[in-house]
């Protein structure tokens, strides 16, 4: 059973860079697309972006100027970097696997979530 385990700093100051990594415990890493999703306190889910094993990315247009998603296939990991964070970026961040067929953009396996707080 595939598992996703994520890690990264949970407390940031405004203007710092958020950095999270998601490790995939499975031999079939290269078969799938991978995504990041967040949920701010009291609000709904927001899609951040996605990447495949070849490094092709699609970003949420509202975050694109600050966002970078990368992949390390040899380590079966993918990472999120969001620069110049503000309090509005405070949220639970999830990594997730995109189900096949990829065109559905449905997320069937999720990481445990990381609460990231931006505060001075």
Partner 1 sequence: QSVLTQPPSVSEAPKQRVTISCIGSSSNIGNNAVNWYQLLPGKTPKLLIYYDDLVPAGASDRFSGSKSGTSASLAISGLQSEDEAIYYCSAWDDSLHGVVFGGGTTLTVL
Q: Which residues bind partner 1 (CB under 8 A)?
A: 35, 37, 44-47, 49, 58-61, 94, 99, 101, 103-108, 110-113
Nearest-approach distance from CB 72 to partner 1, in angstroms:
23
Cα 56 from Cα 38, distance rounded (Å): 20
User: To the nearest 10°, the Cα dihedral for 99, 94, 47, 91?
Assistant: 160
* Choice between 13 and 101, CB closer to partner 1: 101
Nearest-approach distance from CB 47 to partner 1, in angstroms:
4
* Choice between 54 and 61, CB closer to partner 1: 61
Nearest-approach distance from CB 115 to partner 1, in angstroms:
12
User: To the nearest 10°, the Cα dihedral for 34, 75, 67, 49?
Assistant: 0
* Choice between 30 and 112, CB closer to partner 1: 112
Burial track 87-111 (b if 16+ CB lie within 10 A, e otherwise) = eebbbebbbbbbeeeeeeeebebbb
* Choice between 98 and 118, CB closer to partner 1: 98
Nearest-approach distance from CB 13 to partner 1, in angstroms:
27
Q: What are phi and psi of 75, to 5 degrees?
A: -100, -5
């Amino acid at each position: 059973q595939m598992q996703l385990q994520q890690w990264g700093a949970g407390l940031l100051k405004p203007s710092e860079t958020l950095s999270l990594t998601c490790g995939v415990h499975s031999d079939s890493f290269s078969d799938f697309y991978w995504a990041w999703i967040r949920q701010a306190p009291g609000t709904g889910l927001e899609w951040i972006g996605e990447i495949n094993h070849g490094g092709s990315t699609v970003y949420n247009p509202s975050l694109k100027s600050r966002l970078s998603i990368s992949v390390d296939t040899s380590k079966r990991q993918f990472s999120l970097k969001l620069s110049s964070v503000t309090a509005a970026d405070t949220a639970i961040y999830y990594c997730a696997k995109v189900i096949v067929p990829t065109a559905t953009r449905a997320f069937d396996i999720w990481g445990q979530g990381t609460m990231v707080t931006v505060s001075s």
